[in-house]
Amino acid sequence: GGTNVAVFQNGVMLGRGLESGTGSWGRGSNGIVAAGVDHFFFSIVQGGGYGGVAQGQAQQEVKLYTYDGKPAAFPGGIQYDKSCLEMVTSADCGDKPVVGLAVIGDELFVADTYTKSIKVYQLPLAGQKVKRSWPVTRLGRIDADQAGCIWMLQPKDASGPAKLVRYTAAGVIQPQQIVIPDTVQTSDFCVDQVRNRILLTNSGVDQNILIFSDIITTPKAAGTFGVTGGILSGVAGQEGPLRFNNPTGVGVDKEGNIYVACSGTGLEAYAPSGSRLWAVQS
């Protein structure tokens, strides 16, 4: 409905945030979400002229929601509903967003491209204090594995190919990494903590999900999920189960059900067998 965030369960929308992704109240989505036990966290940018941010400025924030899509206030929170962490306020921060969020136990991890660092906050949130941080030059999406470490999807740039790298919760780089082939175009991944594997979106020619196993020890390619070529295979443009159309988001639950968001169609849920459970389109 044009809002920044919505919550779905079994193909039915449970609730959505009030902030409009089309510019109402000057807020826009950075498209990043992380799930906690009772709340989830969402990355947004607040434009100047609203929410106490001066004209000509912007503010990168992390907003706290309950699972019905309602903002959740916390002590020391900012904005009109006291539900936000302030990352940075600056005239040039609009294009330097929070690109990664993850929850490990009672800590929230934030990948902040403006300060080029991973910031860690104590949960439940109280105030704006950063518990600890460490510098990272190439930031991207993050997720946590079963051992309590952080995986990061580093985008391809002049320094090298896209890759997945692993840090301890204290910021110590680990030997495990996955180099992404140049033929793969990716923007998101998730860690399956139960099965110790990573699922990675591929919006390149294959239009599918790549799977990597043994991520705690020696990561290796372990197959794909989805029809090779996606919606472009067979009868091009024909919608159907496993025929992904520009997959841009992926998640997995403890039962092994896989959730795929496609910017060309919508959100789909699949059983581990590959049978489609439900789909929300457009």
Segments of the chain with pLDDT less than 50: none
**Could you say which DSSP state residue 181 is in?**
P
In this prediction, residue 28 carries a pLDDT of 86
What pLDDT is recorded for position 221? 97
pLDDT tens-digit series, residues 195-229 = 999 999 999 999 999 999 999 999 999 999 999 99
**Location of structure tokens 């709340």:** 39
> Could you give the 3-state DSSP secondary structure of residue 175?
strand
Distant-in-sequence contacts of 163-168, Cβ < 8 A, 24+ apart: 164/189, 164/198, 164/200, 164/212, 164/219, 166/215, 167/118, 167/134
- pTM for this predicted structure: 0.95
Question: Which pLDDT belongs to residue 127?
Answer: 95
pLDDT at 24: 61
What's residue 142's pLDDT? 98
Q: Give the pLDDT confidence of 69-80 residue by residue, as tens digits.
A: 899 999 999 998
Decide the pairing of beta strands 107-112 and 98-104.
antiparallel
Which bin fits 233, alpha (ψ -120 to 50), beta or left (φ > 0)?
beta
* Structure confidence at residue 163 (pLDDT): 97
Res 15: pLDDT: 86
Laid out side by side, the sheet with 258-262 consists of: 247-252, 258-262, 266-270, 276-281
